[in-house]
Structure 1
């Protein structure tokens, strides 16, 4: 088991976890409740952390993180084809149900 990523907040950590799950990389989220300890512990120890379960997945997982971090922020919204939830346009996965938004992005690029 290896630490892959320290997120700035729980939402970001959950997005990373979902991206890894969609790539069939087993991972766990740690420090989900540590935010309440800020002040008692250093704030850097309270960041949510994503750990991969199998060391062999490290290279593939890092490439997913690199792609996530290099994705530009796009303004506007898209709607999930499954649950119809509104998502920021740069999201790859629906924040509500976790469904991939690739089809929606492809349709937007065709117009």
Structure 2
């Protein structure tokens, strides 16, 4: 996802270790994490700023809501309370 977001902004990236999930257990799991590499070192600071901005925006859009009927705190993606099934206002 991040590679595609950066590509739209003209930042060329490589995705490494994206196929190593099947090796977990055979090699240490931390060596199986996917890595996003920016090809040009000169655009790395710009890529970092773009990703930081997207992450901040994504987190700010994901605030939970409190059910008006039972008061339960619900995750933002739900349109209905998981506890009492009341609809979100």
TM-score above 0.5: yes
**2:83 match:** none
- Three-state SS of the structure 2 residue aligned to 1:32 is coil
**Relative contact order: is structure 1 or structure 2 higher (C-alpha 8 Å, sep ≥ 6)?**
1
Where do 5+ consecutive residues of structure 1 fail to align? 1-14, 77-111
1:23 and 2:25 are equivalent in the alignment: no
Among 4, 13, 38, which residue is 2:24 paired with?
38
- TM-score if structure 2 supplies the norm length? 0.63
- Say which SS state the counterpart of residue 10 (structure 2) adopts: coil
Q: Distance in 2 between matches of 1:29 and 1:54?
A: 14
1:23-52 CA-to-partner distances (Å, cap 9, x unmatched) read 100111111111011011111111111101
Distance 2:20 2:77 in 1: 31
* 2:77 alignment counterpart: 75
Indicate the SS of the match to 1:39: coil
TM-score w.r.t. structure 1 length?
A: 0.51
User: 1:54-101: per-residue Cα shift (whole Å, max 9, x none)?
Assistant: 00011110011212322223537xxxxxxxxxxxxxxxxxxxxxxxxx
* Count of aligned positions: 62
Aligned match of 1:62 = 48
Q: Which structure has the bigger radius of gyration?
A: 2
In structure 2, distance between residues paired with 1:67 and 1:43: 29
